[in-house]
Amino acid sequence: MQRRYLSLAAAIATTMTLTLTGCGSGSGSDDVTLKLIAADYGDSHSNSSQHYWDELARAFEKKNPGIKVDVDVYSWTDVDKKVADLVKEGHAPDLAQIGAYADYAAKGQLYSADQLLSIPTQGDFTPSLAEAGEYKRIQYGMPFGASTRRLFYNKKLFSEAGITSPPQSWDDIAADAQLLKAHGVKMPFALPLGPEETQAETMQWMLSGGGGYTDSIGKYTIDSPENVKTFKWLKENLVGKGLTGTDPAKLNREDAFAAFSDGKVGMLNGHPTLMKQAAAKGIDYGTVELPGAHGKAKATMGVADWMMAFKQGGHRTQAGKFLDFVYSKKNVEKFSGEYSLLPVTSSASHAMLADDKYAKFHGSLQQLASAEFYPADKTSWPLVSKTVKAKMGAAVGPRGNPAGVLTDIQNTADATDNVGE
């Protein structure tokens, strides 16, 4: 009998320990400070994302007195590495708003979205974005800030060159670029394949040529016939004829946007941020869906950045409350409008589509539902993206070999995929 009572006492003690552990892991106590590392979407100190997050945190804390939110904002150059270093050191933040989630999800370090968010919040994500945030069919990446790509053109330069309508196909792009060059435009078509964001420009052209990084089941198709044909066309018809104005391998996206905003570029592929930048310099611009090989491209490219919640601190419940607040219609719409991004929820998207104040975003918003995204669910993608940045610019240069470069990248992708998946 005595042994039985000792066992009962031990069982009670064990139950109490588990209960206390459960409270500490986020299912009970609200007396915590959440640590968030976030990326900066501003282009100066005055409009840094730090201001947005500080204001949002204060508003949340007022409604939830037991939860504090401590936010550190870093530039896009540093933010991903900062989070990686913290995780490696055993000090993962509770929340991170960065560029990739799959590697952390693969290692079991993240809460899934359904462990964090209320059903209405999770159901409000734009479906294509929610799907892009899945690893092995479970959503770990919560979209935060999105954009689609369109072709931008300078209306004044087009008019001066006698061009009466924007291009609808690759042949139109080549013909218009020739006319712009003949009228003294320094960069008829800006083609940024420099190291900053080569993977984006590359994907846009792949899609416009009927290809892409992967097929419908997620297998890499980087050296597909469609992709080879696309970059051969670029090499021969734009770069080879001097219609890009500079070596694409040395042109970064930021510099291409700046040149367009200075009136030196006739056309380029861009996203909503360029609207604000060009308008600030008084550029009269237009946008159209990406031209394709024989007409409108099959799809546009979409880009999303990601919010994720790490398990290490154990603050699941508190992080979920904060994220429900972050993703309210009011807050998503405010952030998107302030930083010229597309909202990631259906409720905020519908609100912006119904508001003439956001008319310049309407074309991009209407494309978001069918946009195609980076294969961010693959743990191999960061290395593949890095390889694209290193090699694609030279592929379209005078001595470039598009087929050879695409095959090299395909081999890297296959080797990494076989190890990592």
Q: Are residues 154 and 96 in the same domain?
A: no
**CA 51 – CA 38 distance, rounded (Å):** 12
Q: Are residues 115 and 252 in the same domain?
A: no
**Residue 192 falls inside a structural domain:** yes
- Sequence letter at residue 156: K
**Residue 20 falls inside a structural domain:** no
Please, what sign has the CA dihedral across residues 39, 317, 351, 51? negative
Q: Are residues 165 and 307 in the same domain?
A: no
pLDDT score of 13: 40
**CA 357 – CA 128 distance, rounded (Å):** 25
Q: Are residues 75 and 138 in the same domain?
A: yes
Closest CA to 196 of 141, 134, 252: 252
Cα-based angle 377, 388, 168 (whole degrees, multiple of 5): 90
- CATH code: domain of residue 176: 3.40.190.10
Provide the token pair at 244.
Answer: 């890009």
Number of H helices, E strands in the chain: 19, 14
Q: Are residues 186 and 291 in the same domain?
A: yes
pLDDT score of 31: 87
**Residue 87 falls inside a structural domain:** yes
In 162-275, at which residue ranges do the beta strands (DSSP E only) sit? Answer: 187-189, 265-270
Contact 410, 416 (CB under 8 A): no
Q: Are residues 307 and 352 in the same domain?
A: yes
Q: Are residues 264 and 402 in the same domain?
A: yes
Q: Are strands 372-373 and 301-309 parallel, antiparallel or unpaired?
A: parallel
pLDDT score of 371: 92
**Residue 15 falls inside a structural domain:** no
Structural domain boundaries, residue 387:
150-299+378-420
Q: Are residues 295 and 415 in the same domain?
A: yes
Overall domain count for the chain: 2
**CA 78 – CA 73 distance, rounded (Å):** 10
**Residue 86 falls inside a structural domain:** yes
pLDDT score of 129: 94
pLDDT score of 420: 53
Q: Which residues contact residue 139 at a Cβ distance below 8 angstroms, ignoring those fewer than 6 apart?
A: 112, 113, 114, 122, 130, 133
Q: Is 30 helix (H, G, I), strand (E, B) or coil?
A: coil
212 half-sphere exposure, CB direction, 13 A CA radius: 19
Other Cβ atoms within 10 Å of 81 Cβ, number = 11
Q: Are residues 252 and 385 in the same domain?
A: yes
pLDDT score of 17: 37
Contact 175, 266 (CB under 8 A): no
pLDDT score of 419: 67
Contact 345, 124 (CB under 8 A): yes
User: What pLDDT digit, counting tens, does each position of 265-313 carry?
Assistant: 999 999 998 998 999 999 999 999 999 999 999 889 999 999 999 999 9
**Residue 21 falls inside a structural domain:** no
**Residue 8 falls inside a structural domain:** no
CA dihedral 204, 208, 214, 216 (to 10 degrees): 130
Q: Is 91 helix (H, G, I), strand (E, B) or coil?
A: coil
**Residue 57 falls inside a structural domain:** yes
Q: Are residues 65 and 116 in the same domain?
A: yes
pLDDT < 70 regions, the chain:
1-30, 419-421
**CA 193 – CA 259 distance, rounded (Å):** 15
Final residue of a domain: which of 335, 350, 373? 373
Q: Are residues 254 and 362 in the same domain?
A: no
Q: Are residues 128 and 186 in the same domain?
A: no
Does an H or E element contain 36, and which? strand 32-39
**CA 205 – CA 199 distance, rounded (Å):** 10
Closest CA to 94 of 321, 305, 303, 304: 321
**CA 111 – CA 85 distance, rounded (Å):** 19
User: What pLDDT digit, counting tens, does each position of 180-237 carry?
Assistant: 999 999 999 999 999 888 999 999 999 999 999 999 889 999 999 999 999 999 999 9
